[in-house]
Every structure is written in structure tokens, then in C-alpha cells.
């Protein structure tokens, strides 16, 4: 018996979880969990503050990695075998359709959740000092998500994939001076072909996921180093009303104000560095408002994980990922559409290639990147930042409207056709 | 709250587990397994005793497939159609019935979809039969399956499929190439037909289109050729066979089915009779070929045709560059030929033509082959409707010499021409004269002009 005990103790070195020390050690003696603080602020666990969008995005990424690796066992990045592999997944691989569906829906879900997460961070003003740089990293993670989704889009090698990537890379080629070269480097030629498929495959399964993981690590690390999750805005509004009640007085007697030992308690590496740390200052009342991560934060994360996984699994059981006919360079669908998240861009391109395909998206990305540095307003309260909120909302709405128009209101020849009008016959 | 969350976590975990079980169940009970079970039940009925019966019923389910690298396809049809190669299943109900009359087309070499259409990779009825969105090659109906023969047998007669020969003949003689390109040769007014059979148009569509071109494509420039129902069907067969697929070497080697007919053509083409004789008919430089197939084995003859010097060192017979099917055809002709037939071949050759006649005849053939007859008619009479062109139809070519010099006519053939418009506000006439200079050699164009000039009639002399 002793040997088992010894083995167990060599793996789990913490004190029992019934003790506070054990609860702390569970977190910081564990390489996977120590990204969490041992204790979290209660208010930060409020669902209506963050909607757990960051977690959901991360869990979707985990689903994508898992199902993606499983799919790699069945995939050859050579046309037309790639398409045959899709058919094999559909018809003869055990759980093949389920795996592919999960990968597809999780991918779309991730694009949506990254975007929503960004909106949440903006609306709560959480990109402000000291979190500016983490916002920048977040924007790069958004771009990486789009890149991963876009490169994965080509891999099934069906008509949908082929023409979406043809249109998508054409949009990129409108960039002055470098556009053509950029497209050529990405495709390994002048049109989407075998070389393009291999390049997209390598980007999709090696380069972009590696960058994604690296930046995710930095993103999480910065969350901790910048003082944890931002405080809910409603907490900012409420000035401290904490007070002491003198025992024996009537209920409506005035509270005796608390006397803090110091008004700005700070943490720092004593005797190693001097000066104040850069992160938000924590007042004593706040510190008392914390609980151990185990089990409070972990159970919430676990529920979020399972909710994400079951949602994707349920979708995958009933909704099949699209697979059209084998890619045919000689047969252009009309209209040929980019993946949905680029349809806003394609809509802009249809009005002006240079303005819509290059200037507008470049400005958009640059604007997103510099937001934390040009927004000099220190307040995070919505009523203090009406302009910022209006501008960002306009940005979101314009993007959504463009995507909706591009997706549902564009028919053959990119003509404006409402989705309820049925276009008869296929144009020759 | 915390308790609720733990319960929620537990419930979600159970749900996830259930979903996995459901997915596994779904993956584990495909419809083909039911078909296989039913087939084994059918098979077991024929078994003599309980033990073998039980053994048949216990056959584990598995996907059957033909990997057809030469045809670039994988056919899994026999996963359900299990009795295709089992003659005892002659009267079995579908999908288990035996496929009679396969001849040399064994499924292991040809699969199923190359003839029948459908989606070979699929393992559910709907998908496999290809009647689903995004699979454009559904099962061909019984009436049109034989059109698929033309996918490999691209030339000559296919036994049992006269429609293909007829369709090909109509295509080359009715002037289809005037507007349509096929394998790089032809006009540009109509769509290129090189891969028409792979464009996945329903056979019924094609047939209706040939009977009344305007019925399905409104405003189509294609004239109504007043084809009979049979001719329309023959053309449909031919169209369906034009898939421009990249066939493996074996499959493309049977473009022509080796037979005496084809052998006879080769015998004449290669001028065998200039050296050989057949029962005394012909020349004596080479040996008499009558009875040669009884004197030597097939293999010997085949070798002789590949490399004569290997068999007879110093033989003066040239090594002909014949494909193995061509050699088979020649040998089969030699075994069936008679001196009278060879005599006829010789007399066909003897008809001498003046160089002038030869050029005109070649011009006539070009005129038909490159599709000029499609609009201008086999007798140069014109008359195909061309709305809003002056005269409303394609002009006759019988009176060219009244209005044009030969050089002007040559220029029109080379550069093409848009017909003068009747009503300037109306739509442009659908038919126009394409430019042929990039398609035809100057020699061909000159020949065509020679042919036209040989047919000119003077208008009423006054």
C-alpha cells in the first residue's frame, strides 16, 4: 500500500483541499492551473461582466486542436485526393462526419466569439491602462483566427472552398505594389492550385496554430500581470459604503467609517524592485471580497467548457458541414463568394477595389490596434465615454450590415437580390 | 449557487456523454449494414445446412470497394449491390440482383459508375445514386446507360450501340462544328462541347434541346435542324460520351474495338497490298496473306507486326507503329478476309482523281467537317433563320461570284464577318461568321474557297 501512497504523493504534493493552504497549492503547484491566481475577486466571476467569452473562445480553440489533429490522420493535401478524403470522412470513417462537423462549427463559433470578446472588452473599457498592449495582442489573435479559418476553408477542395479562396486572395491582391506578390507567395502561383493547397495546409496545421498558441500564452500571462480581469463597470460606479456597526445601537444609527491600515495597499517584489507595480491598485475591502479559485472559479470554467463542448457536439450531430462538388477551376459559381466573415470586405470591394479591398480593411485593423493609445480618456464608465462607445458601435454595425448584405442580399453578378426572391435556373 | 453550478456541470457532462453515444450509434448503424444483413439472409436460404447458414449470417459487415486508379474513382456500390457478380442472384430483388451480360467489363477493372453514373464513394442510397445537391452526375436512366460506352470507345462502331456511331456521324456531317468547338476545333458561336458529357446536363434536356433548341434555352442561336427523335437521341448519346476525362492507359487503348471492320480499314490505309497479296490478288513482294492466320499463332503475328526484323532478320517489312488493338484488328481482318474483298479494296484505290478534283473534294470535306454546313447547308443553300440580319436568314453561297472576288471570299473566311443588321434598334443577330484563320490552315481555307467556286451558279442571265 505504501508504494501507491508514495506514487500519489510524488505526483500530488499539495495539502488536502479541505485546507486553505491546499486550495492555494492546488493552483500554484500545478503547471496547468497556475495561470490562475490562488484567489479571485468575486465580482470578476460575474457572468454578466464578461459572458466568459474569452474562456469560450479558448475552449473552442481546444476543440479545434483536438478534432483537427484527428482529421489530419485522414487528410492528404493534394487535389483531388483531398476531396476524396472528405467523401471518405463522410461515408466510411467511423465518426468522420461528426469530427468534421465539430471542427467546422467550432471554427465558425471561434470567429464569432473572438469578435464578441473584443466587443465586450471594448464596452467595459478594459483595454485602458495598464491593459493596452494586451488589447493589441488580442487584435492579433483575432487576425490569426481569421487566418486559420480562411486557410482551413480551402482544405476540402470543393467548389465552395476553391472559389471562396480565389475571391478571398483576389481581394488581397488589390493592395498597391505588394498585392500581386503577396497573392503569388500565398498561392505558390497565379491561381489556386496544388501549390496553394499545400501552402494553406502548412499554414493551417503548423504555422498559424503555433503563433496562436504563443500569442495565447502571452495574452493569458498579460491578463495576470495587468492585474487580473478588469473590474465590472458597475463596481466602479459604487463608492465604498463599507462601514462598521456598533453593537447595541439602533438599526438606523450611522455607520462608523472604516479605517484602512493604508489606503493604497500594493503588492511588489520586496527588496528586489523599487517603486509601485503598474497594475490596478487593490483596496483592502476588495481584497476581502475574494474567494479561492478552487472551487469557485474552476467550477465556472468547467461548466463553460462543458456548455461549449455540448453545444458544438449537439450542432454536429444534426447539422452537416457543407461539401459541394469537386473544385472545378473552369466552372465559376455565380456569384463566387468569399467565406462569410470576409463578405463585408467583398461587399466593399464590389464598390471600389482599392478603397474597399485595401484602404478600408487596413484602416480598420490600424484603428483597432491603436485604440488603447489614442483613447486618452482614463475613465471606464460608459457615461464618460459616450463618443468611444458610439464610434465602436457604428464600427460593429457597419461590419455586420456589410456581412449580412454580402451573405444574403447578393445574387448572380453581385446584383442586389433579397434572399426571399428565388433566382430561377442556374446561369450558364 | 455553487451547488447549482456543480449540478449543472454534472448534467452537462452526462449530456456530452449522451451526445457521444448518439454520434457513435449514428456512425455504427449506416443503412448499408442493413442491406448486407438482408443479403446474407437471402444467401443463407440457399445453404444446405444450419451450420453453413449460420456461418453466412455471421459474415461481418464491411465496405466493399473497387479502387480504380486508371479511372480515377473508387466505387463502393457493391457494398449494397452484393450480388452483382453472383449468377445465383439472377432473380434476386434489387439491390442484390446479378448483373448479366457484363462481358469483358468485369467490375474489378471497371467498377460501376463509369457506365452507370452516380457517386461511387458514397454508401447511402441517396448519395450513391447521386440524386443529391452538389453531386452532378446522378445515375443514368436505363435508356441512356449505353451512351457511356463512348467514354472509352471513342471511335469506330460499338457493338449494340448504333446510336453512338450515328450521333458522331451527325455531328461531323450536320455542321455542328461551325458553331461548337470539340477538342479544339470548331466555331465560337455556341458553347464548347469538349466536356459536354461531364457538364451533367440531364439526357432528357439534351434530347429536347436537339428537337427544339428554343424550348429550353430561350433565344438560343441554334437553328432547328428538324432532327427526328432517333437522331436527337443519337446526338444525345454522343454528347453524353464526351466527358474529356483523363482515362488510364488501358481504358484509352480501347478507343476502337478491335474487329475485322476496323482491321479492313487499317489494311487499306497501311497499303499492305502494295507488297503483299491475298490469294494472288495484289503484289508478290511479300508473302501471300491468305491463310496466314492458320499458319501462325496470334502471338507470332502480333510480334511480326511489332518488329518484323526480330522474327525474320533482314526482312524488308517496315515496323508499323500500331497499337495493340490495331494489331488485333488487323489479325482479325486477315482471318476473315476473302480475295474478292481484297479485290474490292484494290479497285476502290484505283479510282483516279485529277489534282483539281482532289482539292475540291478535300474542300467539300472541310466544308462539312469544320461545320460550315451547319448554317450554309450541305448544298450551300443557306436559309437558317437569323433574326434581325438583313434577309432574316443565313445567305445562300450559290451566287457568291456575282458580288465577290475569290480574294474577298477568302478574307471573309479568314477574318469572319458580322451580318448587316436589319433594324438598328433591335438585338444583334445571333449568328455571325466566325474568324477561321486561327483554326484552319491557309491550305484548308483555300480548298474551301475552291469548293465554293466549283459550285457557283450564275444568276439569271440577262
CATH number where B381 lies: 1.10.760.10
* B44 located within any domain: yes
* Three-state secondary structure call for residue A326: strand
Based on the fold, state whether residues B241 and B289 are members of the same structural domain: no
- A-to-B residue pairs, Cβ atoms closer than 8 angstroms: 71
* Cβ–Cβ contact B58 with A under 8 A: no
Contact flag A323-B76 (C-beta cutoff 8 Å): no
* A172 located within any domain: yes
Those of residues 246-305 in A touching chain B at CB distance below 8 A are: 295-296, 299-300, 302-303
Those of residues 366-405 in A touching chain B at CB distance below 8 A are: none
Output the pLDDT for position A428: 36
Those of residues 133-152 in B touching chain A at CB distance below 8 A are: 134-136
* Cβ–Cβ contact B100 with A under 8 A: no
Contact flag B23-A303 (C-beta cutoff 8 Å): no
- Residue finishing a domain among B73, B105, B139: B139
Q: Which of B35-39, B58-62, B259-263 shows the lowest mean pLDDT across its residues?
A: B259-263
* Cβ–Cβ contact A80 with B under 8 A: yes
Contact flag A325-B5 (C-beta cutoff 8 Å): no
Return the residue in B3, B10, B14, B15 with the most chain A beta carbons within 10 A, the one to mutate for interface testing.
B15
Total domains in the fold of chain A = 1
Which residues of B fall within a CB distance of 8 Å from A307? 12
* Three-state secondary structure call for residue A419: coil
Contact flag B13-A94 (C-beta cutoff 8 Å): no
CA A349/CA A174 separation, integer angstroms:
9
Contact flag B9-A80 (C-beta cutoff 8 Å): no
Contact flag A313-B72 (C-beta cutoff 8 Å): no
CB A87 within 8 A of CB B121: yes
* Cβ–Cβ contact B123 with A under 8 A: yes
Q: When comparing pLDDT for A23 and B358, which is higher?
A: A23
Based on the fold, state whether residues B281 and B341 are members of the same structural domain: yes
Based on the fold, state whether residues B312 and B373 are members of the same structural domain: no
* B18 located within any domain: no
Domain range for residue B278? 260-350
- The three cell numbers locating residue B443: 491550305
Query: Smallest Cβ distance to A306: which of B9, B135, B191?
Result: B9
Distance (Å) from the alpha carbon of A196 to chain B's nearest alpha carbon: 22
* Cβ–Cβ contact A97 with B under 8 A: yes
* B20 located within any domain: no
* B75 located within any domain: yes
Output the pLDDT for position A425: 47
B181 pLDDT band, cuts 50/70/90, is confident
Give the N- to C-terminal CA distance of chain B in Å, as an integer. 113
* A60 located within any domain: yes
E strands in A232-391: 243-244, 256-257, 290-292
Contact flag B20-A158 (C-beta cutoff 8 Å): no
* A6 located within any domain: no
φ, ψ dihedrals at B308, nearest 5° = -60, -35
Query: Smallest Cβ distance to B121: which of A91, A303, A314?
Result: A91
CA B293/CA A71 separation, integer angstroms:
60
* Cβ–Cβ contact B243 with A under 8 A: no
Residue linked to cell 457493391: B78
Distance (Å) from the alpha carbon of A159 to chain B's nearest alpha carbon: 9
Domain range for residue A72? 27-231+295-414
Contact flag B121-A323 (C-beta cutoff 8 Å): no
Residues 6+ apart with CB under 8 A from A341: A111, A146, A149, A403
- Residue finishing a domain among B110, B139, B168: B139
Condensed to tens digits (0 to 9), the pLDDT of residues B189-234 reads 888 888 888 777 888 889 999 998 888 877 788 888 889 999 999 9
* Three-state secondary structure call for residue A253: coil
Output the pLDDT for position A427: 41
* B363 located within any domain: yes
Residues 6+ apart with CB under 8 A from A51: A116, A120
Contact flag A317-B124 (C-beta cutoff 8 Å): no
* Cβ–Cβ contact B27 with A under 8 A: yes
pTM: 0.79
Output the pLDDT for position B46: 84
Distance (Å) from the alpha carbon of A422 to chain B's nearest alpha carbon: 17
Contact flag B6-A325 (C-beta cutoff 8 Å): no
Q: Is A2 exposed, middle or buried (0-12, 13-18, 19+ CB in 10 A)?
A: exposed
Distance (Å) from the alpha carbon of B309 to chain A's nearest alpha carbon: 45
What is the ipTM metric for this complex?
A: 0.85
Q: Give CA angle at A282 (A280, A285), nearest 5°.
A: 150
* Cβ–Cβ contact B191 with A under 8 A: yes
Encode chain B in three state secondary structure.
Answer: CHHHHHHHHHHHHHHHHHHHHHHHHHHHCCHHHHHHHHHHHHHHHCCCCHHHHHHHHCCCCCCCCEEEHHHCEEECHHHCCCCCCCHHHCCCCCCCCCCCCCCCCCHHHHCCHHHHCCCCCCCCHHHHCCCCCCCCCCCCCHHHHHHHHHHHCCCCCCCCCHHHHHHHHHHHHCCHHHCCEECCEECCCCCCCCCHHHCCCCHHHHHHHHHCHHHHCCCCCCCCCCCCHHHHHHHHHHHHHCCCCCCCHHHHCCCCCCCHHHHHHHHHHCCHHHCCEECCEECCCCCECCCHHHHCCHHHHHHHHHCHHHHCCCCCCCCCCCCHHHHHHHHHHHHHCCHHHHHHHHHHHHCCCCHHHHHHHHHHHHHHHCCHHHHHCCCCCCCCECCCECCCECCCCCCHHHHCCHHHHHHHHHHCECCCECCCCCCCCCCCECCCCCCCCHHHHHHHHHHHHHCCCCCCCC
Contact flag B2-A299 (C-beta cutoff 8 Å): yes
Residue B386 pLDDT more than 80?
A: yes
* B13 located within any domain: no
Which residues of A fall within a CB distance of 8 Å from B244? none
Residue B12 pLDDT more than 90?
A: yes
* A175 located within any domain: yes
Contact flag A316-B12 (C-beta cutoff 8 Å): no
B160: left (phi over 0), alpha (psi -120 to 50) or beta: left
CB B62 within 8 A of CB B76: no
Based on the fold, state whether residues B227 and B321 are members of the same structural domain: no
Counting Cα atoms < 13 Å in the Cβ hemisphere of B101 gives 3
- Best-predicted range by mean pLDDT among B88-102, B278-292, B376-390, B431-445? B88-102
* A327 located within any domain: yes
Which residues of B fall within a CB distance of 8 Å from A158? 134
Which residues of A fall within a CB distance of 8 Å from B121? 84, 87-88, 91
The CB density around residue B16, as the number of other CB atoms within 10 Å, is 18
Q: When comparing pLDDT for A99 and B372, which is higher?
A: A99
Residue B359 pLDDT more than 80?
A: no
Report the share of chain B in percent with pLDDT over 90. Answer: 30
Condensed to tens digits (0 to 9), the pLDDT of residues A235-268 reads 765 545 555 666 666 666 666 666 555 555 555 5
Q: When comparing pLDDT for B400 and A218, which is higher?
A: A218
Contact flag A84-B127 (C-beta cutoff 8 Å): no
Based on the fold, state whether residues B406 and B420 are members of the same structural domain: yes
Nearest CA in chain A to B128: A91
Condensed to tens digits (0 to 9), the pLDDT of residues A12-50 reads 989 999 999 999 999 989 998 988 988 888 888 889 889
Contact flag B76-A92 (C-beta cutoff 8 Å): yes
The CATH number of the domain where A190 resides is what? 1.20.810.10
Total domains in the fold of chain B = 4
Output the pLDDT for position A426: 43
Q: Which residues pair with B185 in a beta bridge?
A: B182
* A1 located within any domain: no
Q: When comparing pLDDT for A111 and B172, which is higher?
A: A111
Nearest to A158 by CA among B182, B115, B121, B276: B121
Nearest to B239 by CA among B158, B175, B173, B144: B144
Which residues of A fall within a CB distance of 8 Å from B77? none
Distance (Å) from the alpha carbon of A228 to chain B's nearest alpha carbon: 22
* A256 located within any domain: no
Output the pLDDT for position A76: 96
Mean pLDDT of B156-162: 84
Distance (Å) from the alpha carbon of A62 to chain B's nearest alpha carbon: 16
Return the residue in A306, A307, A312, A320 with the most chain B beta carbons within 10 A, the one to mutate for interface testing.
A306
What's the average pLDDT block by block, 10 residues per block, for chain A (428 residues)?
A: 90 90 91 89 88 96 97 95 95 95 97 97 92 96 96 94 90 85 91 94 97 96 88 66 62 64 54 50 63 91 97 96 90 87 90 86 94 91 91 95 93 86 53
- Residue finishing a domain among B139, B173, B199: B139
* Three-state secondary structure call for residue A127: coil
Residues 6+ apart with CB under 8 A from B119: A87, B113, B127, B128, B129, B130, B132, B135, B137
* A21 located within any domain: no
Q: Is B88 exposed, middle or buried (0-12, 13-18, 19+ CB in 10 A)?
A: exposed
Amino acid at each position: 500500500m505504501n508504494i501507491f501512497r508514495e506514487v500519489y504523493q510524488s505526483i500530488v504534493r499539495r495539502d488536502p483541499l479541505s485546507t486553505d493552504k491546499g486550495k492555494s497549492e492546488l493552483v500554484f503547484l500545478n503547471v496547468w492551473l497556475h495561470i490562475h491566481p490562488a484567489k479571485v475577486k468575486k465580482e470578476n466571476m460575474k457572468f454578466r461582466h464578461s459572458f466568459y467569452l474569452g474562456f469560450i473562445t479558448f475552449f473552442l480553440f481546444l476543440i479545434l486542436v483536438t478534432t483537427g489533429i484527428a482529421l489530419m490522420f485522414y487528410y492528404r493535401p493534394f487535389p483531388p485526393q483531398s476531396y476524396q478524403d472528405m467523401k471518405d470522412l463522410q461515408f466510411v470513417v467511423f465518426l468522420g462526419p461528426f469530427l468534421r462537423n465539430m471542427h467546422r462549427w467550432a471554427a465558425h463559433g471561434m470567429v464569432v466569439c473572438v469578435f464578441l470578446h473584443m466587443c465586450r472588452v471594448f464596452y467595459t473599457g478594459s483595454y485602458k491602462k495598464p491593459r493596452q498592449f494586451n488589447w493589441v495582442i488580442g487584435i492579433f489573435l483575432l487576425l490569426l483566427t481569421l487566418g486559420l479559418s480562411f486557410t482551413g476553408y480551402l482544405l476540402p477542395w470543393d467548389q465552395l472552398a476553391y472559389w471562396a479562396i480565389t475571391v478571398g486572395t483576389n481581394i488581397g491582391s488589390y493592395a498597391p505594389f505588394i498585392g500581386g506578390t503577396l497573392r503569388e507567395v500565398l498561392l505558390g502561383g497565379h491561381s489556386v492550385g496544388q501549390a496553394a493547397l499545400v501552402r494553406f495546409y502548412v499554414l493551417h496545421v503548423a504555422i498559424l496554430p503555433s503563433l496562436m498558441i504563443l500569442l495565447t500564452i502571452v495574452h493569458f500571462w498579460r491578463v495576470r500581470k495587468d492585474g487580473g480581469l478588469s473590474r465590472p463597470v458597475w463596481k466602479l460606479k459604487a463608492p465604498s459604503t463599507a462601514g462598521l456597526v456598533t453593537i447595541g445601537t439602533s438599526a438606523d444609527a450611522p455607520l462608523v467609517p472604516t479605517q484602512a491600515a493604508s489606503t493604497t495597499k500594493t503588492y511588489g517584489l520586496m527588496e528586489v524592485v523599487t517603486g509601485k507595480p503598474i497594475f490596478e491598485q487593490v483596496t483592502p475591502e476588495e481584497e476581502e471580497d475574494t474567494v479561492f479559485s478552487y472551487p469557485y472559479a474552476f467550477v465556472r470554467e468547467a461548466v463553460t467548457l462543458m456548455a461549449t463542448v455540448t453545444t458544438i457536439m449537439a450542432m454536429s450531430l444534426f447539422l452537416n458541414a457543407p461539401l459541394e462538388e469537386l473544385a472545378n477551376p473552369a466552372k465559376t459559381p455565380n456569384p463566387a463568394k468569399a467565406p462569410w466573415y470576409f463578405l463585408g470586405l467583398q461587399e466593399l470591394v464590389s464598390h471600389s477595389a482599392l478603397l474597399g479591398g485595401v484602404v478600408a480593411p487596413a484602416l480598420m485593423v490600424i484603428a483597432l490596434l491603436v485604440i488603447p493609445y489614442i483613447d486618452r480618456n482614463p475613465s471606464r464608465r460608459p457615461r464618460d465615454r459616450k463618443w468611444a462607445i458610439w464610434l465602436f458601435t457604428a464600427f460593429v454595425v457597419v461590419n455586420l450590415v456589410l456581412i449580412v448584405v454580402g451573405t444574403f442580399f447578393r445574387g448572380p453578378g453581385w446584383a442586389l437580390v433579397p434572399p426571399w426572391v428565388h433566382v430561377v435556373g442556374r446561369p450558364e | 449557487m455553487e451547488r447549482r453550478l456543480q449540478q449543472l456541470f454534472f448534467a452537462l457532462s452526462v449530456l456530452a456523454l449522451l451526445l457521444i453515444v448518439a454520434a457513435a450509434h449514428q456512425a455504427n448503424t449506416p443503412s448499408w449494414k442493413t442491406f448486407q444483413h438482408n443479403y446474407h439472409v437471402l444467401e443463407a436460404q440457399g445453404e444446405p445446412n444450419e451450420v453453413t447458414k449460420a456461418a453466412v449470417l455471421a459474415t461481418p459487415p464491411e465496405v466493399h470497394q473497387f479502387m480504380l486508379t486508371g479511372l480515377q474513382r473508387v466505387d463502393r456500390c457493391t457494398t449494397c449491390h452484393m450480388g452483382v457478380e453472383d449468377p445465383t442472384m439472377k432473380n434476386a430483388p434489387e439491390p442484390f440482383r446479378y448483373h448479366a451480360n457484363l462481358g469483358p467489363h468485369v467490375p474489378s477493372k471497371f467498377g460501376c459508375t463509369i457506365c452507370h453514373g452516380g457517386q461511387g464513394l458514397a454508401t447511402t442510397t441517396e448519395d450513391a445514386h447521386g440524386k443529391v445537391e452538389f453531386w452532378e452526375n446522378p445515375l443514368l436512366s436505363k435508356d441512356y446507360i449505353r451512351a457511356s460506352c463512348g467514354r472509352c470507345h471513342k471511335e469506330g462502331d460499338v457493338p449494340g450501340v448504333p446510336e453512338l456511331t450515328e450521333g458522331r456521324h451527325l455531328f461531323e456531317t450536320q455542321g455542328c462544328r461551325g458553331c461548337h468547338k470539340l477538342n479544339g476545333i470548331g466555331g465560337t458561336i455556341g458553347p464548347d462541347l469538349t466536356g459536354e458529357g461531364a457538364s451533367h446536363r440531364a439526357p432528357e434536356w439534351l434530347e429536347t434541346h436537339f428537337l427544339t433548341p428554343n424550348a429550353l434555352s430561350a433565344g438560343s442561336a441554334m437553328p432547328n435542324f428538324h432532327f427526328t427523335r432517333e437522331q436527337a437521341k443519337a446526338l444525345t448519346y454522343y454528347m453524353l460520351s464526351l466527358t474529356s476525362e483523363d482515362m488510364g492507359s488501358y481504358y484509352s487503348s480501347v478507343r476502337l474495338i478491335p474487329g475485322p471492320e476496323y482491321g479492313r480499314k487499317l489494311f487499306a490505309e497501311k497499303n499492305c497490298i502494295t507488297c503483299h497479296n491475298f490469294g494472288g490478288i495484289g503484289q508478290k513482294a511479300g508473302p501471300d496473306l491468305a491463310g496466314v492466320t492458320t499458319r501462325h499463332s496470334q502471338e507470332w503475328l502480333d510480334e511480326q507486326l511489332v518488329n518484323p526484323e526480330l522474327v525474320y532478320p533482314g526482312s524488308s517489312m517496315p515496323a508499323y507503329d500500331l497499337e495493340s488493338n490495331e494489331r488485333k484488328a488487323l489479325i482479325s481482318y486477315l482471318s476473315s478476309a476473302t480475295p474478292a474483298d481484297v479485290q474490292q479494296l484494290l479497285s476502290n484505290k484505283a479510282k483516279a482523281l485529277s489534282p483539281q478534283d482532289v482539292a475540291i473534294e478535300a474542300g467539300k470535306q472541310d466544308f462539312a467537317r469544320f461545320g460550315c454546313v451547319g448554317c450554309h447547308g450541305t448544298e450551300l443553300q443557306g436559309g437558317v433563320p437569323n433574326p434581325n440580319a438583313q434577309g432574316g436568314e443565313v445567305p445562300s453561297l450559290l451566287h457568291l461570284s456575282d458580288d465577290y472576288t475569290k480574294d474577298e471570299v477568302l478574307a471573309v473566311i479568314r477574318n469572319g464577318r458580322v451580318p448587316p443588321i436589319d433594324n438598328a434598334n433591335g438585338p444583334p443577330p445571333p449568328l455571325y461568321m466566325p474568324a477561321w484563320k486561327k483554326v484552319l490552315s491557309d491550305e484548308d481555307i483555300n480548298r474551301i474557297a475552291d469548293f465554293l467556286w466549283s459550285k457557283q451558279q450564275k444568276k439569271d442571265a440577262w
